[in-house]
Structure 1
Amino acid sequence: MIGMQPLGSAATGHPETTHAAIDALKAGGNAMDAALAAALTAAVCEPLLMGFGGGGVFTVRDGRSGTVEVLDCFSVFPGHGHGLEARNFTQLAVNYGPTTQFFHAGAGSVAVPSIAAGFEAFHQRWCTLPRERLAEHAITCARKGWTATKATEVVSTMLAPILRLGSCSAAVFAPDGMPLAEGATVRSEKVASALEDFAREGAAPFTCGHHARSLVETFGPPHGSLGLHDLEHYEVRFLEPLEVAYRGARLYLPPPPCAGGALVAFGLLLLDRLDEQSNDPHWRSRCLAAVMSATERVRHEGFDRDLFEPGTIERLLAPTTIDRYADELRTALRQQLAELPPKGAPLGPVPGNTTHISTVDKDGNAVAFTSSNGETCGLLWPSTGFPVNNFLGEDDIHPLGFHQGPVGSPLRTMMTPALLVGPGGGVIALGTGGSNRIRTAMLQVVSYLMDGAMSLEQAILQPRIHVEEQTIQVEVLDQGPDYLQAICGANRKLARFEGRHLYFGGVHSAGLKADGRIEAVGDPRRVGVGKTAVS
C-alpha cells in the first residue's frame, strides 16, 4: 500500500495467534514482543499443541548485533525428593490415519512444565512491551471465546482417547462425547485468570505460588512424580546455536536437548557434498531421500543413545563423518538404490502435536519458537485450565525406557526452531511441528530455498517426502510415475498421501529480505496463517 511502511511479519498455526503477533508489532513492539504475544495466545487457541503445561525452545536473533541465541525452556525429569516412578501411567492407542500409535498418559506421564519460566526469561531478555500489553489478546480470546479450526478438530479427534481420560479435559475437548468440532467456540475464565496472573507476576505463581501447589496436588505423589522442588528449581538455559554454512547462507539451529538441530545440520552437510546431476531431473529428490535414509541410519548407530554425551555432535558433523557417508551415498545413487540399508529398528511414525511461531521485524530481529504438550496427559491443570504434557509417556524421547531419568536432567526433543541468514543480510525464521518428520520437513524447505532458488511460499508448498524404515512416504500432488519410481529406488515401498497432509508438519515461516521487503507464509498443512504488519 502506498505510504505504508512494513513493521514485521508473523506466521503461526491459528488466526488469533497471528493476530496477537501483528497487534504487538503495530503497538511498537519488536519481533520478540510479537513472538511472546503470539505464544501466549497460542496457549489459549492451540491448547492441545502448546501451553503452560508443556515446554518449548526459542531461537532468537538480535538484529543490531546479528547475535543468535537459543533459549531452552523444554521440560526436565521430575522426582526430586520422592523419586521418579511410573505412577498412574496409562497406555492408550491413538489412531493416526493409517497408523495406530500407543502412548502413555495420566498423572504419571507428566514432566516438569517449563513454559512459564521460559516466557518470563524471554520477556526479561528481549521484549520491550510490558507483559500486561503482550497478554491482552490472549486474555480476550480466553474470556470472550476463540474458534476451533480444522486443525483443532483433527487433533481433538486423533487424541480423543487421551482427552477423555479426565472429566474436565473431556468437557472442554470432547463435549457430549464428540471431539471438538471446527467452528466451535471455546471460553475459559480459568485460563483468562491464569494469564492475568502471569501478566502481573510473571512465572512465580506457576513455579512456587498457588498454581504450582495446585499442579503438585494433582500430579505429585501418589498420582505422579512432580513436586514443588521440581518447579521451584527448574532453570531455563541460554545456549549457543549450532551454525551450518550452506550455499552461501548460514543456518542457526538449536543444540541438545534438541536432537533435530544436529540431524538437520548433518543432512544439509551431506547434501552439500552431492554434486548436481543435470541429466537427472529427479536428482535433488533422490538425494533428499538418500540423505533421510542416512540420517535414520546414523540415529541408530549411536546418535540417539549418545545425544547428551560429550563430543557426540562434533563427531556427527565432523568432515570425516560427512565425507564417509557422502561417498556411500554417491555410490548408492549411481546404482539407482538411493538408500543405505538402515541398521536397527527406526521409530514408528508418531503424531506431531507441536506448534510453531515465526516472527521477524524491519530491524532484522527474528524469532523461531517451537512448543509442545506432547499428546497431553488427559488431565487439566486444576487452577489454570491448561492441558498438561505427557512427555514421560512418549517412547520416541525415551530410547532407554520410561522413567529412567536422571531426575532434573533434560528431556530430548526433535524440535528445530531455526533461523536462516542469507549472504545479503536477509533472515528467515522457520520451524515446524511433526515429531520425527520435523527434521525431514526442515531439510526439504531449506534445500528448496537454497538449491532450488524458490520463493518462501514455493518452498513450503512443494510436496514432501519422509523416509521411515524401508518405506518412503510421499505427498502426491501432480508428480508423475517416473518421479515416484525415481525416489523409491530398488529397495523402498511407497506410502501415498493424497495432497498436502498435516503428517508432514507445518513449516510456518516469516522473512525479511535483504532489500527490506517482509513476508510470512503459514503452512496450509496445519492451517497456518502468515501476515505482515504495516504502519
Structure 2
Amino acid sequence: MADPEPIPSTWQQGKPQVGAAATGNADATRAALDILEAGGNAIDAAVAAAYVMGTVEPLDSGIGAGGFMILHDAASGRTESIDFLGTCPAAAKYELYASMDAGNEYVIRVKGRENERGHRSVAVPGSVRGLGAAQAKFGKLAMADVLAPAIALAEGGFRVGHKAALRMARTEKLLSLTPATRKLLLKPDGSLYRAGDEMANPEYGASLRLIAKQGPEVLYEGVLGDLLIAEMEAHDGFLSKADLMGYEAIWRDPATARFRGYDVATMPPPSSGSLVFAGLAALEGETVTDGAHYGQLADAMLAMFRKRAASFGDPAFLKAAPGESSETTSLAVIDRDGNAACITYSNNNHSGVVLPGTGILLNNQMMLFSPWPGNPNEVVAGKRPVSSMMPSLMFRDGKIRMAIGASGSTRIPTSIMQVLFNRLVLGDALPDAVGRARVHAETESMLADQELEETVQPLADSRGLKLTLSPGRDPMLASVQAVGVNDDGTMAAVGDPRARAAGMVR
C-alpha cells in the first residue's frame, strides 16, 4: 500500500491544467485527475472514479450496483444520459402480510424481509453495463487504463475512509449474513473496520481485471455471471441467467429546464430530477431574503413531493421509493476541454450478500419497489424503480458551467435544490452554497440541521410538519459533490464536508 497522503480540504479552486473532480473519497478524486493527466477525458475520469468508489466504499456502490450518468461531449455538443438502474428479476414475487408499526399505523410488510436483505433482495446489477457503455461511446482511453486505479487499490490496499467506516457500523448486523460477507467486510477477529484502518479486496481486483480484459459481457454472459447465477440458485434467489442476458443500459434524452439564465440537463423519469427544477422555477419570481428563504424552499419541496407521489403512485403506499437508502455514491468531473460527467449510483443499502470468490457486494435494489400490487412502482419483471438520484449538468451560452450530484435518498433532490438556490439566488460561492445548513420537507415531516432550530420550528408548526433535528452536519441531510466553472476559466471543485468528501483542481 502506498504511503498515505494528507487528507485534502473539501474543496479547491484554481485554473485547471487538466480539470477538476469532486467525489466522496480522496482516492477516487485523485484517480479521476490521474486519468485526465494520462490523456483521458471527463467521461474516462468519471468512470475511473466510480470504480474506485466501489472499491474503497464497497457498501455503497460497485460492480453489484445500479444508477444514472449524465455527460456532455464538448466536441459534438451532445449531452446524453444513461440509465443503468437495477431491474426486477422475472421470477420476483413476495408474500405480504399486514401488521401495525410502532406508531400504531397499519402497514403492509414482506414476509421474511426478503426484499430488504439476502439473495431475494438483489435486482439485476446495471453498473458494469452502463459505465462500460458510456466509456466506450465517449471515452478516449482503453477500459483497462480506466480500471487501473481501482485495481491497484483493491489489490494493494487502501485506508478506510470516514464514511465507509460509518456505513459498516450502521449495517453491522448485515456484515455477518454470509461467510463471504464476513470474510470481506469484517476483520479476522470479527470486529469492524474503523476509519484509518488498512483494508484490501484482492478478489475484487481480480473481478475488475476480468472486466478490463473481457468487457461488460463477463458479468452478463461470462464467468462472473455464471458465478452470480450459481449463488442465486444455491440460495433460492430470484435472479436468473435470462435476467442477466436481457439487461440493457438505456440511453435517454435528458430532462431539460432553465433557471436564472442557466440551461439545465438532468435525469428524466424514473428519476425525479425534473421536479427539482420545476420547484426552483416556482421560486424565481419570489422576493428572497437570506434566512427567510427556508420557508420558501420548504414549500417548494412539499409541492415537489406531492407531484412526485401523484406521478409515481398512491401516497398512502408510496412515499417516494419505499426502501430508498441514503447510502449512495455521487461524483462530478469537468475537464479543461469542457467535457463533463456526473454519476450517481448505488447498492441501495446492500443485500448483505458478497458473491464468493469475487469480492462483489450485491445490491438490495428490490427494496426500491413497492411490494403492494397495483401501483405504478410495483414489482414487475424487467421494471426499473422510482429513484431520487439526479446527476445534473448546467450550461450558460452553450458552455458547461456546473456538474452536480448528491447521495442521500429523498434528500438528494432537496439538497441539490438548496445548493443551486444558494449559489444562483443568494449569490454564494460554490463552497459556501454546499456548506450552508439545510432543511428537508417531505409529506408530513421536516428534517433540519440542529443549528436551524429557531428558524425552522415555526415553519414546521405553521405547516403541520413534525420536525426532527439532525446534529453535527450529518450526511443524513445528503452529501453533495459539485464542480463549477467560473467566467474567468477557473474551476471550483467541492466535496461535501458532511461526508469528508474531496474536491480537487489540477
Q: Same fold (TM over 0.5)?
A: yes
How far residue 116 of structure 1 moved from its aligned partner, in angstroms, is: 1.3
Q: How far apart in 1 are the matches of 2:384 and 2:70?
A: 18
Q: Which residue of 2 aligns with 1:318?
A: none
Q: How far apart in 2 are the matches of 1:217 and 1:171?
A: 19
* 1:241-252 equivalent positions in 2, closer than 5 A: 241-252=254-265
Any idea what the Cα deviations from partners look like across 1:305-334, whole Å, max 9, x if unmatched?
Answer: 29xxxxxxxxxxxxxxxxxxxxxxxxxxxx
Q: Residue type of the partner of 2:54?
A: A
Q: How far apart in 1 are the matches of 2:366 and 2:502?
A: 31
Determine which of 469, 483, 494 is the counterpart of 1:521.
494
- Say whether residues 1:63 and 2:103 are aligned partners: no
Any idea what the Cα deviations from partners look like across 1:195-218, whole Å, max 9, x if unmatched?
Answer: 111111111211111110000011
- Say whether residues 1:21 and 2:32 are aligned partners: yes
How far residue 401 of structure 1 moved from its aligned partner, in angstroms, is: 7.6
Q: How far apart in 2 are the matches of 1:505 and 1:349?
A: 16
- Say whether residues 1:381 and 2:355 are aligned partners: yes
Q: Which residue of 1 aligns with 2:177?
A: 165
* 1:341-380 equivalent positions in 2, closer than 5 A: 346=319, 351-380=325-354
How far residue 484 of structure 1 moved from its aligned partner, in angstroms, is: 4.5
How far residue 425 of structure 1 moved from its aligned partner, in angstroms, is: 3.0
Determine which of 442, 446, 449 is the counterpart of 1:468.
442
- Say whether residues 1:495 and 2:468 are aligned partners: yes
Q: How far apart in 1 are the matches of 2:240 and 2:316?
A: 40
Q: Over aligned residue pairs, what C-alpha RMSD do you find?
A: 2.8
- Say whether residues 1:213 and 2:213 are aligned partners: no
Q: Which residue of 2 aligns with 1:311?
A: none
Q: Which residue of 1 aligns with 2:199?
A: 186
Q: Residue type of the partner of 1:304?
A: F
Q: Which residue of 2 aligns with 1:427?
A: 401
Percentage of identical aligned residues: 28
SS in 2 for 1:215: helix
Whether the 8 Å CA contact 1:85–1:224 is kept in 2: the answer is no
How far residue 288 of structure 1 moved from its aligned partner, in angstroms, is: 0.1
Q: Which residue of 2 aligns with 1:141?
A: 153
* 1:296-315 equivalent positions in 2, closer than 5 A: 296-300=305-309, 302-305=310-313
Q: Which residue of 1 aligns with 2:118?
A: 106
Select between 394-403 and 375-384 the one with higher mean Cα deviation.
Answer: 394-403
Whether the 8 Å CA contact 1:261–1:439 is kept in 2: the answer is yes
Q: Which residue of 2 aligns with 1:326?
A: none
Q: Which residue of 2 aligns with 1:451?
A: 425
Any idea what the Cα deviations from partners look like across 1:125-161, whole Å, max 9, x if unmatched?
Answer: 1110111111111111011111111111111111122
How far residue 343 of structure 1 moved from its aligned partner, in angstroms, is: 8.2
Q: Which residue of 2 aligns with 1:131?
A: 143
Q: Which residue of 2 aligns with 1:417?
A: 391
Q: Which residue of 2 aligns with 1:291?
A: 300
Q: Measured at CA, do residues 61 and 217 of structure 1 come closer, stay the same or move farther in structure 2, by a change above 3 Å?
A: same
Whether the 8 Å CA contact 1:86–1:108 is kept in 2: the answer is no
SS in 2 for 1:183: coil
Whether the 8 Å CA contact 2:21–2:331 is kept in 1: the answer is yes
Any idea what the Cα deviations from partners look like across 1:275-299, whole Å, max 9, x if unmatched?
Answer: 2155xx5432111011111222223
Q: Measured at CA, do residues 467 and 397 of structure 1 come closer, stay the same or move farther in structure 2, by a change above 3 Å?
A: farther
Is there any run of 5+ residues in structure 2 with no aligned partner, and where? 1-11, 96-100, 102-108
Q: Measured at CA, do residues 516 and 355 of structure 1 come closer, stay the same or move farther in structure 2, by a change above 3 Å?
A: same
Q: Which residue of 2 aligns with 1:266?
A: 278
- Say whether residues 1:51 and 2:25 are aligned partners: no
Q: Residue type of the partner of 2:391?
A: P
Q: Which residue of 2 aligns with 1:31?
A: 42
Whether the 8 Å CA contact 1:506–1:525 is kept in 2: the answer is yes
Whether the 8 Å CA contact 1:392–1:403 is kept in 2: the answer is no
Q: Which residue of 2 aligns with 1:74?
A: 85
Determine which of 190, 195, 207 is the counterpart of 2:208.
195
How far residue 469 of structure 1 moved from its aligned partner, in angstroms, is: 3.5
Q: Which residue of 1 aligns with 2:365?
A: 391
Select between 219-228 and 200-209 the one with higher mean Cα deviation.
Answer: 219-228
Is there any run of 5+ residues in structure 1 with no aligned partner, and where? 88-92, 94-100, 307-341
The total of aligned residue pairs comes to 477
